[in-house]
Chain A
């Protein structure tokens, strides 16, 4: 009985930690989904741009010993700027109906950013300052890691900030109009290019938060995180349903929680394999994701 109880606590604890960390996946997923919703295109650079933002934040921390808040702000702003550059370089001048070229260009930008990071850091991982990592909330047999709770709280705040902008501001109204019907939006006098650029910047700001939160929770920043984070973000986007923000949130938490279950039972080397299998389970049984509509958007 004692052993069983101990294991039960262990597993639920690990799921809880995963759910908290899953908030970062949710943010990355929201970023992908936001851009897909606006333009119907995949921005493969997104996760790399988010981590690039985190690197700039880290630089601010190392160079001028900036405080935690400043580090996250700088990360978000830098990532927003990268988002804008990526929009101009990979989406702005490529014909709107050419999904392939935009996809390829953004993959090119992904490698470009990745290589710049590798060059700037000699490819070695850097320590990222953790917040509240010495705090531990005790709840009966459970403990909640302070740093994970902080990551979760910031990600939730970021999501609400985004939802506020999307649903309560003129900017958000324009963004949603373009994503629903870009011809109609144009007829109403909305500048589609400007709105898309704003969407990229918004997604970038969110990504910078996600990137620095990922780094803060893991404790290190490394160019090795880029591609796995890209793929997990894409998986979250698909599982949640392309273009669905609530879906991305639910899927992010789901992937975060299950990832830790896989980690607990199968170890770190096999963990990601099961996350990838999860995507195929969804593709077979629920190809449009948790909240996706049954209508093909593509």
Chain B
């Protein structure tokens, strides 16, 4: 049972990661740096609960704030370039963060042992949930409260003027600019929001896994982050959720019998999916068909 709860937690955390990329993609920006913000959230929250002995909630919010601050900082130079250049800039940022934590050693004595990030050996003592006697159910509920809050916030944003502004920038920058939308403000805001969401995800990840090291936050994780919204399509936040359940729940778990070969198949699946459905597996049309099939959609 706890195994499946762990999977449910992971799906929640990856949904947050995917949504952090989703916000950016609404404005037409593709970032391979979400793993970096996720890492900043994970390490910051871990340091706050382990070294500064804060409770989980303030630590988590502070970690998200720190991650969003860095997203804000990255936003400005990165936004001077567009499209594929932004991909390169964010991938470089993400690697920079990974190397930073690869080198970070901050050990403090706690009782008769030392705790804290230990460069290449990783950060091993993030045991807030265990130390405070949280059950697996409680942890899962805690994770999903944040997932639901973030999804609700994004869903609501999408139906407000702010959502229209984000999508306007994503659809056509020139047109958006000509109706008086401040492109830089919109893009940096989206970047900051994405950093915040990824930071929450990272903080939750560090505490559910109790252990993080620099190898957790590689380009592969950044690829997952953008793969979810690409597969799920940008029509709604639920697409990302469905894509995470599909990849983490069905593919990763379903292909477990392949053992080591699973990653090879994963690469091939991405290639196949992009060739067959370049605009996402669950694009607007597929969503419409699915809705009609389950009797929700009705007319176009």
**Chain A residues at the B interface, C-beta cutoff of 8 Å:** 36, 40-42, 89-90, 93-95, 98-105, 107-116, 119, 227-228, 231, 234-235, 237-238, 242, 269-270, 272-273, 276-277, 279-280, 283-284, 287, 296, 298
Contact = CB atoms under 8 A, between A and B. Distances in A.
Contact of A298 (B82, B89, B218, B260): B82
A101 B271 CA distance: 9
B218 A227 contact: yes
Interface in B101-126: 102-103
A42 B274 contact: no
Given A119-B260, A234-B91, A277-B96, A105 B84 contact: no
A5 to B, nearest CB: 32
Interface stretch (B44-52, B262-270, B288-296): B262-270
Contacts of B96: 273, 276-277
A194 to B, nearest CB: 19
B88 interface: yes
Contact of A108 (B78, B218, B274, B278): B274
B140 interface: no
27 contacts: A90-B274, A98-B279, A99-B83, A101-B274, A104-B270, A107-B223, A108-B266, A108-B267, A109-B271, A112-B264, A112-B268, A115-B263, A115-B264, A116-B264, A119-B261, A227-B218, A234-B92, A235-B92, A272-B95, A272-B99, A276-B95, A279-B89, A280-B77, A283-B77, A283-B78, A283-B81, A296-B82
Contact of B274 (A36, A94, A112, A279): A94
B87 interface: yes
Contacts of B80: 283-284, 287
B267 A270 contact: no
A41 B30 CA distance: 14
A298 B88 CA distance: 14
Contacts of A94: 274-275, 278
A287 B266 CA distance: 35
Nearest to A242: B85
B271 A108 contact: yes
A255 to B, nearest CB: 12
Given A109-B271, A272-B99, A298-B83, A104 B92 contact: no
Interface residues of B, number: 42
Contacts of B100: 273
A102 B267 CA distance: 13
Nearest to A92: B275
B191 interface: no
Contact of B103 (A36, A41, A234, A270): A270
Interface of B: 30, 77-78, 80-85, 87-89, 91-93, 95-96, 99-100, 102-103, 218-220, 223, 226-227, 230, 260-261, 263-264, 266-271, 274-275, 278-279
Contact of B88 (A93, A119, A235, A296): A235
Which of B30, B102, B271, B279 neighbours the largest number of chain A CB atoms within 10 Å of its CB? Answer: B271
A284 B77 contact: yes
B89 A280 contact: yes
A242 B84 contact: yes
Contacts of A102: 274
Contact of B267 (A111, A277, A283): A111
B99 A36 contact: no
Contact of B271 (A40, A105, A119, A287): A105
B271 A112 contact: yes
A99 to B, nearest CB: 6
B81 A287 contact: yes
Residue of A235, A273, A276 ringed by the most chain B CB atoms within 10 A: A276
Given A119-B264, A283-B78, A298-B82, A90 B271 contact: yes
A270 B101 CA distance: 11
3 smallest A-B Cβ distances: which pairs? Answer: A108-B270, A112-B267, A101-B278
B272 to A, nearest CB: 8
Contact of A238 (B85, B261, B263, B266): B85
Given A269-B99, A284-B77, 7 more contacts: A42-B88, A93-B275, A99-B83, A100-B30, A101-B278, A112-B268, A273-B99
A234 B88 contact: yes
A231 B264 contact: no
Contacts of B263: 111, 115
Nearest to A102: B274
Contacts of A93: 275
A298 to B, nearest CB: 4
A97 B95 CA distance: 28
A116 B81 CA distance: 34
B230 A100 contact: yes
Contacts of B275: 89-90, 93-94, 105
Given A90-B274, A100-B30, A108-B271, A283 B89 contact: yes
Contact of B85 (A95, A104, A277, A298): A298
Contacts of B78: 283
A108 B231 CA distance: 13
A101 B267 contact: no
Contacts of A269: 99, 102-103
A95 B278 contact: yes
A41 to B, nearest CB: 7
A95 B280 CA distance: 13
